[in-house]
Chain A
Amino acid sequence: MMLAAEIAWTHIRARARQTLVALSGVAVGVGFSIMMAALMEGSQEDFIRQLVDALPHITVSDERRAPPPQPADAAYAAAEIHGLTPAVRRRGIKNPLATLDSLDGWIRGSAAPSVQTRGIIRYAGRDVGAAVIGIDPHKEPRVSNLVAKMRKGSLASLYRATNAVILGDRLAEKLGARVGANITVQGDKGRIGAQVVGIFHTGIRAVDESTVYALLKTAQILAAQTGLVNEIRVRLGDPMAALETARRIEDETGYKSVSWQEANEDLLSTLVIRNVIMYTVVGAILLVASFGTYNIISTITHEKARDIAIMKSLGFRESTVRGIFVVESALIGLSGAILGWGLGYLLCLALGSVQIKSPFMDTSYLPLAYSPLHYAIATAVAVGSSLIAGFVPARKAARVHPVEIIRGAT
């Protein structure tokens, strides 16, 4: 193999310009593949991070997957019962504190109670509908990153006034309310006066313009149900374990327990399709690059037909002759891939410096994922396709009948 490698190296060196063109083809293919993979995976990671950050990993609500059996169904073994008035159940999770204690015992993370209700926020003659979320300021930091999103005030500020609220910055802007403003929150069954004690900003427009945080007690008053806890929010050390943990919570509590993956099932399945598209495009780029390698190896074998005949007449085995051209393609593929690493990295740096301005999100930079896996995959595909591209003409070259060439030359 050393001999084949030496001859291959000599061929490559002797054809610097052709080699450079083939190398450039592979390098550009690998570089753009790395850039595309970084961009696609970066945006996917960023998207998932935002999903995971913005939402609890698991939401346990007071709903059930299947409607609970009605008392009449339990009492009579009839095939069907019609015309009965269903029993009205009290809203909220039963014994929420006991449920929380139970969850705290085994989940690898934290759980916090909350009350979800809706209300209309009134201030200075303006009415804006919003989700009012009752939270426990002590436990909330363990299940959400709201603390980090506070622009003014803090979660503890909720204790400073009666019926204190924290508004999203866009909501506050819509209302024209500032910290200290006294607003009115109109719920389904009642109305309370409240004081703005803080402003938060998540960067997600839908959240910032329609969410209000309050103490559990305040939300319970607004929902007109003392002790109501209609949602337990869970944050795990490993967000990817949410699916399995949610299933177990649901088995143990009977309440509908939705992981962030389930809540965003449609989006995540879109990401799978996106990945298929990405790898297809990346594969296509590298395939095109491999045509360059095929071209150069074909040209070399064509030009070297006489030399091949000579080597075979001297007694070189077919495998040695084939090896020469396979090694040449491998060298082109590998060297092109190494050049492509540098190109890919530079392209990533250039893309990473591009600012993105969106009306729905804060100004940010293109999210990119720098992963050795991208480099490894691009290299494997480039070298693999170069080897295949080189093998075809190499096999043909190795089968050359030396006499035909020698006769032609003489």
Chain B
Amino acid sequence: MSGGAPVIRARGITRVLPGVVPTTLVRDIDLDIGANEFIAVTGPSGSGKSSLLYLLGLLDVPTAGEILIDGRATAAMDEDTRAGLRLSTLGFVFQFHFLLPEFSIRDNVMLPMRALGRLSPEAARARAEELLASLGLAEHTAKRPDQLSGGQRQRVAVARALANDPRVILADEPTGSLDSKSSEQVFAILRDLVDRQGRTVVAVTHDLDLAARTDRRVHLVDGRIVEDRPTPGGEVEARVSG
């Protein structure tokens, strides 16, 4: 982990889905995510990677344990406060682009800014165009998502995640539905966010080659962290959990 206080700190988090037979998604997770880190969360299918990401991103609430964002405990927060924190501090990129189909890609990128309300519509529009241009989509701003390729859509999703200038980007299989060329492009963008913009990226991935190019790899099996170590060449201290 790089120096300074962690941006996200998970302490003993467990998530159990209630039901006739309760299902434990993640169990007793301790994890500190520092600034300017690129973390890959790996593990076999059903190991709880995405569940952990949703918990870290405040999309889900742990059954036990506590998640702190910038030192703020989130367990007792109401849904609106959590939503506000999500909007201002975190950015999400999902496996499928999840863009709103009726809106232009510029409008899609503007949505988080409009929801946060810090920028005027004109300023939000300018920032959306700037973000899209920085991701090589300058000439597509007025197009709808269905007029773009898969790789382009995912780049739009990255632009949307960056809209409110979040400190942390949480990506759930960001390259999972892309061809190798597009995967490479998207990964390069994520890498750039860490290296040149100083953001933190936590990416769930099945792709071990991509995981090997992050700074730190957190490996899950059956909802537990079985390995948390810097990848070769990374700057993060090795820390093995469990």
Contacts and interface: CB of A to CB of B under 8 A. Distances in A.
B115 A315 contact: yes
B102 A315 contact: no
Nearest to B60: A403
Contacts of B99: 310
A124 interface: no
Nearest to B112: A314
A410 B115 contact: no
Given A3-B114, A403-B54, A313 B102 contact: no
B83 interface: yes
A102 interface: no
A403 B58 CA distance: 10
Grouping DSSP codes into helix (H, G, I), strand (E, B) and loop, the A interface class, with mixed when no group exceeds half, is helix
Contacts of B123: none
B241 to A, nearest CB: 24
Interface residues of B, number: 32
Nearest to A314: B112
Residue of A3, A10, A13, A407 most packed against chain B (CB within 10 A): A3
B172 to A, nearest CB: 7
Contact of B86 (A310, A314, A406): A314
B56 interface: no
Nearest to A320: B115
A80 to B, nearest CB: 82
A43 B70 CA distance: 72
B92 A314 contact: yes
Interface string A274-311: 00000000000000000000000000000000110011
Contact of B80 (A307, A317, A406): A317
B98 A306 contact: yes
Contacts of B98: 306, 310, 313, 406, 409
Given A11-B102, A410-B50, 4 more contacts: A311-B115, A314-B92, A320-B115, A406-B98
30 contacts: A3-B111, A3-B115, A10-B102, A13-B102, A14-B102, A307-B100, A310-B98, A310-B99, A310-B100, A312-B83, A313-B59, A314-B86, A314-B112, A314-B160, A315-B83, A315-B84, A315-B88, A315-B90, A315-B115, A315-B116, A316-B115, A317-B84, A317-B115, A318-B79, A318-B80, A318-B83, A406-B54, A406-B94, A406-B98, A406-B172
Interface of A: 3, 10-11, 13-14, 306-307, 310-320, 402-403, 406-407, 409-410
